[in-house]
Amino acid sequence: MNTPQVSCRSCGERELITILSLGKTPLANALLTLEQLSQKERTFDLDLVFCPSCSLVQITETVPPEELFREYFYLSSFSETMLRHSEENVEELIQSRKLDGNSLVVEIASNDGYLLQYYKRAGVPVLGIEPARNIAQTAVERGIPTICEFFDTDLAQKLVADGQRADIVHANNVLAHVPDLNGFVRGIQSLLKDSGVAVIEVPYVKDMIDRNEFDTIYHEHLCYFSLTALDNLFRRHGLLISDVKRLDIHGGTLRIYARKQDSKQSAIVDKMLAEEDAWVRNDRFYRGFGEGVERLRRELVDTLSRLKTEGKRIAVYGASAKGSTLLNYFGLGSPLLDFVVDRSTVKQGHYTPGTHLPIYSPAVLLNEKPDYVLLLTWNFADEILQQQSEYRKQGGRFIIPIPQVRVV
């Protein structure tokens, strides 16, 4: 194991240990236009390491956020699963925190207002913070007040100076994107009212490893959190994780509740920290993950090659960032795979990064009738299989690659 010349994004430790090297890959969300196909694509190292001091799993390369998030293709409202998940979360919090017209809910990385809309519907004032200009604009058009900025300590202090302090700060699937973790958490601490709570969702590193979800590794995801790593980070800034939930969304998520005062760590938090002790600093545990990914690569490449030899046509569902990591690292593309379909209208008409497959509407599956569809957005498998019942009725089959290759 080599030691990359970087220090831990959370605690500053300099001796980081390599888990998995995915080589040089293009940015996973950098979809290409027809004109861009002939230009050279930029690639960046993708190496996963862990910190033996605070246990944070992270990648070593930092692509500037300005480059990754100012134009963004992922609209949360395209997923029904996400919307249901958000609505339930909001209804529970409005009741338990007794929110009303005098409260304020802030969401960091509020996307198109997919979550805040449910507070607004209930008459609770909201403020979104979303750096992607195209998406912030969509949110504003939907009536969700949105600041088009990256969140940090400075922005938090500006809001507080304007008299805006939050009863709830949501930050879903954004903490992993943040280069300055400490500044971000410090900002949340200042933005919260003394009685406020931060409700934060991150993909859970244990689920990623247990389920072979190596495709969640891409340059936007700088960190892969355990509760232990979060506990270390939040305590450093005077926030205590008072409760934690494990959710099934996005291939396994941790939702933490962090507070300033009068808070006690729940028995569930204590129990989970104790459980993590068994693996969270164990490099054998992380090495096993690398070996599992290699097994998966052989299995999937063999399956697809065999089908191709039999003369089958294979399409792909999901022009997602996950999919980009999987296709590029496994070396899958044309002529093994024919084309990609995706429900997001902003992606259609573009080409996948690195592999240059064309992206069409899912309606194309019924016209073209490929024999198999490789499902790269496996985290929404139930929803997509249901939407594609007609294609499946006509004999089409899906290949789900993760956690193991299976055909349905």
Query: Any contact of residue 7 with Zn ion (CB under 5 A)?
Result: no
Joined tokens for residue 86:
């958000």
Q: Out of 4, 6, 7, 11, name the contact with Zn ion by CB under 5 A.
A: 11
* Position 53 contacts Zn ion (CB under 5 A): yes
**E-strand stretches of 178-310:** 192-203, 223-224, 240-247, 253-259
Count of CB atoms within 10 A of residue 46's CB? 21
Site residues for Zn ion, window 254-273 (CB under 5 A)? none
6 binds Zn ion (CB under 5 A): no
CA distances from 82 to 59, 117, 140, 141, 185 (A): 26, 13, 20, 20, 24
According to the binding rule CB under 5 A, does residue 280 interact with Zn ion? Answer: no
Tell me which stretch binds Zn ion (CB under 5 A): 56-64, 82-90, 209-217, 400-408.
56-64
Residue 20's nearest CA partner among 45, 40, 41, 49 is 49
10 binds Zn ion (CB under 5 A): yes
Strand 166-172 relative to strand 146-147: parallel, antiparallel, unpaired? unpaired
Question: In angstroms, what is the minimal distance from the CB of 272 to Zn ion?
Answer: 19
Q: Is 8 in the site for Zn ion (CB under 5 A)?
A: yes
Least separation in angstroms between residue 281's CB and Zn ion is 10
User: How many of the chain's residues bind Zn ion (CB under 5 A)?
Assistant: 8
Q: How far apart are the first and last CA of the chain?
A: 39
Question: Is 223 a binder of Zn ion (CB under 5 A)?
Answer: no
Min. distance of Cβ 55 from Zn ion in angstroms? 7
Which residue, 13 or 371, is less far from Zn ion as judged by CB? 13
Q: Which stretch binds Zn ion (CB under 5 A): 51-59, 80-88, 163-171, 269-277?
A: 51-59
Among 49, 54, 106, 280, the residue binding Zn ion under the rule CB under 5 A is: 54
Q: Shortest Cβ distance from residue 130 to Zn ion (Å)?
A: 29
Q: What CA–CA distance (Å, rounded) separates 392 from 408?
A: 9
**Closer Cβ to Zn ion, 5 or 38, answer by number:** 5
Choose between 54 and 293: whose C-beta lies nearer to Zn ion. Answer: 54
- The residue within the footprint of Zn ion, chosen from 51, 124, 181, 296 (CB under 5 A), is 51
CA distance 22 to 377: 20
- Taken as a whole, the chain contains a residue count of 408
Q: Count Cβ atoms within 10 A of the Cβ of residue 284 and give its class: 0-12 exposed, 13-18 middle, 19 or more buried.
A: exposed
Kind and range of the H or E run holding 106: strand 105-108
**Is 237 strand, coil or helix?**
coil
20 vs 223 by CB, closer to Zn ion: 223
- In the list 4, 6, 7, 13, the residue contacting Zn ion (rule: CB under 5 A) is 13
Binding region for Zn ion (CB under 5 A) out of 2-10, 94-102, 276-284, 306-314? 2-10
Interaction between residue 149 and Zn ion (CB under 5 A): no
Is residue 182 within the footprint of Zn ion (CB under 5 A)?
A: no
Indicate the Cα dihedral angle 393, 397, 400, 406, nearest 10°: 110
Rank residues 17 and 122 by Cβ distance to Zn ion and give the closer one: 17
Maximal C-alpha separation, the chain: 67
Phi, psi (5° rounding) for residue 338? Answer: -90, -55
Enter the DSSP assignment of 281: T
Q: How far is the CB of 206 from Zn ion (least distance, A)?
A: 17
Q: Minimum CB separation from Zn ion for residue 233, in Å?
A: 9
Phi, then psi, of 398 in degrees rounded to 5: -105, 140
State the residues that interact with Zn ion by CB under 5 A: 8, 10-11, 13, 51, 53-54, 56
